Amino acid sequence: EVQLVESGGGLVQPGRSLRLSCTASGFTFGDYAMSWFRQAPGKGLEWVGFIRSKAYGGTTEYAASVKGRFTISRDDSKSIAYLQMNSLKTEDTAVYYCTRAITTVTTARFDYWGQGTLVTVSS
Amino acid sequence: DIVMTQTPLSLSVTPGQPASISCKSSQSLLHSDGKTYLYWYLQKPGQSPQLLIYEVSSRFSGVPDRFSGSGSGTDFTLKISRVEAEDVGVYYCMQGIHLPFTFGPGTKVDIK
């Protein structure tokens, strides 16, 4: 059974940093891309970014709203994906979800989602 | 960025009756590989989103066959043949071909 468990959320002040983790099980982690999404309170879904598998170079893509502030990485030996969030803004407040992704060079399908972790950016 | 629109934004359905949601994209979602990268997700109350339909019309693992997807190019439809109480939630369409990947605003479905 595919399982994704996010952790690391919490309350953080504007301008500070936070790192989220996504621990995966039930599949060969290194064979898949991993992605992050977020959902602000009462709002819709927003794609944050993803990291391709090593087979596709392990490269990353980001939404414009987080590019330069957020970094996605992965540790295939531990089956963990990370979302490093720097220079946080109040508008980054959201539930953050990690997902498994099936990607080609230019396309992606996000099939399994974690339960999410809440990040609140407030002074 | 590709803009995804959905209609209606809310839907109240009698159990056992059909329901239909429309999704339109501002650009074609047809890839040169012949596939169309349009997905449907359902977010039940208090839960994370779950994949229902991928590549327009393929049901994901475990999805009941009362859910079906259709369409091509820029116009797509999700149909529920007979709505059940467990189908309540917000339905989102999403495109997975053009970065950044984008969602429709969601259609909230509840039971009459």
- pLDDT tens digits, A61-82: 999 999 999 999 999 999 999 9
Q: What's the angle, vertex CA B48, arms to CA B44 and CA B52, rounded to 5? A: 65
What pLDDT is attached to residue B18?
Answer: 97
What pLDDT is attached to residue B61?
Answer: 95
**Nearest CB to A45; choose among B31, B92, B97:** B92
Task: Give pLDDT tens digits for A4-57.
Answer: 999 999 999 999 999 999 999 999 999 999 999 999 999 999 999 999 999 989
Q: Is B38 on the interface with A (CB under 8 A)?
A: no
Q: What is the mean pLDDT of residues B39-63?
A: 97
Contacts of A38 in chain B (CB under 8 A): none
Interface contact flag, A107 B97, Cβ < 8 Å: yes
State how far residue A49 is from chain B, nearest Cα, in angstroms.
8
The pLDDT confidence band at residue A96, using thresholds 50, 70 and 90, is very high
Q: What is the mean pLDDT of residues B31-55?
A: 96
Give the distance from CA A113 to its chain's centroid: 10
Bridge pairing between strands B10-13 and B107-111: parallel
What pLDDT is attached to residue A105?
Answer: 76
Mean pLDDT of chain B: 97
What pLDDT is attached to residue A101?
Answer: 94
What pLDDT is attached to residue A103?
Answer: 85
Contacts of A111 in chain B (CB under 8 A): 51, 54, 60
Task: Give pLDDT tens digits for A100-121.
Answer: 999 887 788 999 999 999 999 9
What pLDDT is attached to residue A106?
Answer: 79
Cis, bond preceding B18 (omega within 30 deg of 0):
no
Residues sharing a CB contact under 8 Å with residue B46, sequence separation 6 or more, in sequence order: none
Residues sharing a CB contact under 8 Å with residue B61, sequence separation 6 or more, in sequence order: none
Q: What is the mean pLDDT of residues B59-79?
A: 97
Q: What is the mean pLDDT of residues B76-87?
A: 97
What pLDDT is attached to residue A74?
Answer: 98
What pLDDT is attached to residue A40?
Answer: 98
What pLDDT is attached to residue B93?
Answer: 98
